[in-house]
Structures are given as C-alpha cells and as structure tokens.
Amino acid sequence: MKRIISLSVIFFLFTGLGIPSALAAEKQSTTDIVSNVKSAILIERDTGKILYEKNSQEELPPASMTKIMTMLLIMEAIDHGKLSWNEKIRTSEYAASMGGSQIFLEPGEEMTTKQMLMGIAIGSGNDAAVAMAERIAGSEDAFVDMMNQKAKQLGLKHTFFKNTTGLPVSGHFSSAYDMAIMAKELLKYEDITKFTGMYEGYLRENTDKKFWLVNTNKLVRFYPGVDGLKTGFTAEAKYCLTATAQKNGMRVIAVVFGAPTSKERNAQVTKMLNFAFSQYQTHPMFKRNQPIAKASISKGKEKSVEAVTSEPLSLLTDKKGEKTDTVKKKIILKKNLNAPIHKGDKVGTIKLIKDGKVILESPLVANKDVKEASWWTLYKRSFGMFTKAGK
C-alpha cells in the first residue's frame, strides 16, 4: 500500500454555525413524513447526510431509475474525454429493438451524444440507453458489468444490475439508499440537470419525423427548484422516483420506491422536499474542481499535479442555528504517486473536522493527465540534481 503524507491545514471556516448533532430521522418518526410507499430516503447532496429514511435498505426493482447509473457512466465518459457531446452515436438493430419507453430509434440511425442523453433523461428511452451502452463498452452486457463495478466502487450493498434500462428481469434490484448515492454521484456533473430539468424537448426537430419529448417527472414543472432526476414504473416496481431540488444553495435528493400511483409518488416526494427546505440549510465551502493542493508525482513529465475537489462540498446546519466553535480542514495527499496519472484519479482526501470528529470527507483528484517522462527527461532531471549537490 502507498504511504500517505498528511498535510494539516487548520483554519476557521465558520463561527456561529451549527452542525446537526443527530440525523433528522432520530427527531422524527418514520411514519411522520412518508406513507403509502415501500421505501424512501431523503439526503442532502453535498454532505450525504440522511435527513429521513424508511426501509431504505430494502432491495426492490428500480424500473427506469436504473438509468441514473446509465447516465452516470455517460457523464463520466464525457468528463474523462472518452466521449464528446457532438459525437454521432449509431443505433444497432439490437438497440432499436428495445421495448417499453423509447424514442423509436431505427437501425443505423445516428444521433449525437447530447440528443441521446435527452432521449434518456427526458423520454426514458430504452433504445437510446442501449445505444449509448454499446458505444461506451462495446455491448450492453459489458456496460452492465461497468454499472455493477461502479456500484461496488460506490460501496452499494443492495444493488445489482442485469440491464441498462430497468426493464423487468429477475435479480435486477436496488434500494432507496443506494439510488440516492448514485444520484449524489451523478449530480457531481452539473450539466446533467440541463437534461433532467427539461420539461419538454424535441428530437429530429428539422425533419418530418419530429419527436416531442415530455418529462415523466412532473415535479420538474410543478415544484420550484426540482431539476431531475428519474422516474420509474413497471407493474412489479409500481411508481418510483428519484428527485432532486435546489433552493437557496442547498440541494437535496429524495427517493421513493413502490408508490401505488404517480400522483401519490409525487405527493410523498413533495413532503420530503418541503421538510428538508423548512428544517435545514447548507453553507457552500468548495465548488467542484476547485484547486486545493499540489500532489508530487514520480517519473512524470511534470513533477506535480493539481489536486482538486471531486464534487461540491458544503456544511449542513439546521435552522435553529446551533453554535459551534471551529471547523478544521485537513488535506491528505498520497505519497509516491507514479506517472502516468489520469484526469480524475484520486490523489488525496480532504476532511472537514469539528471537535476531533470528521464531519465531511471527500476525494481529491488530479485535474489533468500527467504522462510518463522520457528517459532523457529523467536523465536531465537527475543530472541537474547531481550538479546542484556538487556545488
């Protein structure tokens, strides 16, 4: 294992702000907020704090909420430069054959990544999801392997995928908690809400096959601040929704599984959102990709790389304004990092600490690729060190 060097940078972040000492779930009975659903959870996005939960670990069919993981891997591929927004994605016969919700792609039809993502985020297109999976991984099966690997990487213990779409199949399941964590990860990529927050849009707009998309998440239109993420419905799963909303700088994620009707699903999510915004507030600390420190690299073209935040970071407080003393920042950089380093690789950790207790921990990642140095570069570097040492 790599040794770790700890650089402790202590400073006063806030005075007079309160950090919740207990989860909201401890203050409020699980029957007080949500009813008439199989499971539910409410979390604050930046800290991941659970504000409310009900049967949140129960394994249930997620239906089209599965596409949250599909969209996460698409956004990750774009962020890492493996996929571009304007790249044309060709539809295979297999992708075009998908049933259920679809945007009616024809075999051989091409759409850009942006258009495909619209089809997935707004129209829940199973055909678009499979076409994107085949582009990224070569086949849907290979992409499903990536989905399950990502779930494992995120520490999800109650999720297993069998397809990219959420179409019913035995052994395909998730939980409210796991879905909230997937949504938390997806929301790192702020561009995603430009798609999931659209109420309607058009595909093939300048053709005679113009196709109107209408978001199945009606809260996007009727609840101020809601800008995603994904609905789901099958006869087995009933009505499901993973929703996110932002208000006064605070973003929350609410998930429900197994509501009897879409109206009931929306009503229960609305109650959770109302609870969050009435009881809590966040204080933004760092934006995503904000430089924090420089990590040293061995045998690289460059000797160091900027360590940046991998996601937005905030402090969560309740609205009672509990007093606190000081919050400390601790930066831990990995030592003996060897090139090559890829953009997005973890190079350290940032922790926010109060009274000796870690209240927030998040990865620091490389802000760019650093290639291996040539032998000539390493020779000149070594020669320069010897020259200095001889003076």
Catalytic machinery residues: 64, 67, 124
CA distance 318 to 335: 38
Closest CA to 263 of 299, 219, 304: 219
**Token representation of residue 130:** 């499979």
Q: Which of 280, 277, 334 minimizes the C-alpha distance to 307?
A: 334
Helix pair 126-137, 140-153: axis angle to 10 deg: 80
- Whether 44 and 311 have beta carbons less than 8 Å apart is answered as no
Q: Is the previous residue joined to 340 through a cis bond, with omega within 30 degrees of 0?
A: yes
Spatial CA neighbour of 136 closest among 73, 90, 188, 185: 73
Q: 123 with 213: CB under 8 angstroms? A: yes
Query: Exposed (0-12), middle (13-18) or buried (19+): which is 325, by Cβ within 10 Å?
Result: exposed
Residue 276: name the closest of 106, 85, 15, 46 by CA: 46
Rounded distance between C-alpha atoms, residue 242 and residue 159, angstroms: 15
Tracing tokens 């929301």 back to the chain, one arrives at 187
d(CA 245, CA 298): 43
Give, in order, the Cα–Cα distances in Å from 319 to each of 18, 95, 279, 387: 8, 49, 6, 61
What's the angle, vertex CA 184, arms to CA 277 and CA 141, rounded to 5?
A: 145
